[in-house]
Amino acid sequence: MKKPIVFVVMDGVGISKNEVGDAVKKANTPTLHWLTQNCPHIQIKAHGTAVGLPSDDDMGNSEVGHNALGCGQIYSQGAKLVNESIENGSLFQSATWKKMITNVVEHHSTLHFIGLLSDGNVHSNISHLKAMIGEAKKEGASRVRIHTLLDGRDVPATSALQYIDDLESYLATLNDATFDARIASGGGRMKVTMDRYQADWDMVKLGWETHILGLGRQFPNATEAIETYRKEFEVIDQDLPAFVIGENGKPVGTIEDNDSVIFFNFRGDRAIEMSIAFDNADFNKFDRVRVPHVLYAGMLQYDGDLLIPTNYLVNPPHIQHTLSELLVKHGIKQYAVSETQKFGHVTYFWNGNRSGKTSEALEVFDEVPSDKVPFDQRPWMKSAEITDKVIEAIESGEYGFIRCNFPNGDMVGHTGNFDAVVIAVEAVDLGLARLVKLQEKHDFTLIVTADHGNADDMLEKNKSGQLQPKTAHSLNPVPFIILDKDTDYELKDGKFGLANVAPTIATIFGLEPPQVWEESMI
């Protein structure tokens, strides 16, 4: 090892060609500007096929981004895995699918689907849901209930009715005297069910009460629920309160004994907690009141180490030969830090979807607890504390590879609050400034990049041609910058992506990358 490497992920900070809606350009970022003016840097691809997604129309996300950053390879991911398994029929031939269908046919019970209703292709895709409902009818299921989590984050902020209408129209083509499929409940993804990293179990509790117990405000249909809440609360889809569909004063789709339940999100982070609530007999995070005896499955197994959930429909990518494995092999000690919202990304996703460490002796993980407030109310988040931790790790002289994630550009970007996102990007720049300055006293290589864009693309046109807040990720490239006071690295010309980062790090360390890795950029 020549010298330590400090690796910084500016989550959600991409490079846009447009001025309008670009909070990164709008922000005062003297350090980022200096780095791009004075250091070797290129733009790299962080979406679509470069990170294993089906097409270049698919936005990247933090999970697939950190997988690619940490393993130096391109694996088929989430949507692509599920697409392939539906197209070749393997999903419907799986033992889990057969078990789920047999259960509801033999007991004349209900098949439930819980998940994010959109075609954002980040957590889920409505096409997967429709394919499973259609197949369930073919195989003899008679009753289906869908518990719809509304997006407005990976798709336009107020597009929920588009997906509700699509689903309702599809169900109308299936429903007859032998088959009854309906929407049973729902709510915004940032209000109900889809918490992650155990940051707010109350969201999951509300989801349990809404989907399983059928408790909450009732509406005759999802369209009326959404339209009513929009008028009353003036919030975008992701923040809509929970609702229950009722008929004659009773919920139409509570989850009961002998039912089958499928969580149809393919991305794991926001599906794990509800999976734990269903699967864990010793669950104690909240009072579930009533725990129906059901068969439960996820679209994928969301945590392969902890086996969450026990049953799943599609095998996740089995990622081998990660950068962490290479560094451990050569005795290089690592330190990883972020706040709660992105802690799993610099640990679990970075290490190839493994909860544990590659080496207890050579890996240290440090989590800074996130504040439980809307991100646009504190757009600086925990950037200062994360920087403190990185500086402590550098000054300790203990680590050869230090990595961190500043979540600001992504998490605040998802709120759609442009002014807050500007502050978020500026907060990250302040952290970078402290790290750059530290090179005056300590000899290390600083690498700065991002996992995908978001803050760089904050506005979009609606159907009327008017600009409105955009809360989704962008399709823009991200920066890759190397600062080393002793070496002026020359970056190659080429079409590189996130998977080229690990080989580049290995080259800087003077290590031989595994043959299965992508090309180094130097």
Q: Which residues are within 8 A (CB) of 16 and not within 5 positions of it... i.e. 6 or more apart?
A: 22, 24, 25, 453, 456, 457, 474, 476
Is residue 62 annotated as part of the catalytic site, yes or no? Answer: yes
**CA dist., res. 409 & res. 27, Å (int):** 11
**CA dist., res. 114 & res. 481, Å (int):** 41
Q: What is the dihedral of CA 148, 153, 159, 160, to 10 degrees?
A: 10
C-alpha distances out from residue 155 to 378, 413, 459, 468, 473, Å: 24, 13, 12, 13, 9
Q: Nearest CA to 518 among 510, 508, 504? A: 504
Catalytic residue, chosen from 16, 55, 62, 109, is 62
**CA dist., res. 501 & res. 480, Å (int):** 8
Residues paired with 467 in a beta bridge: 461
**CA dist., res. 124 & res. 118, Å (int):** 7
Q: Which residues are within 8 A (CB) of 66 and not within 5 positions of it... i.e. 6 or more apart?
A: 9, 345, 346, 349, 350, 405, 451
Is-contact 428 405, C-beta < 8 A? no
Q: Nearest CA to 269 among 194, 204, 206, 208? A: 194
Residues paired with 338 in a beta bridge: 367
Residues forming the active site: 62
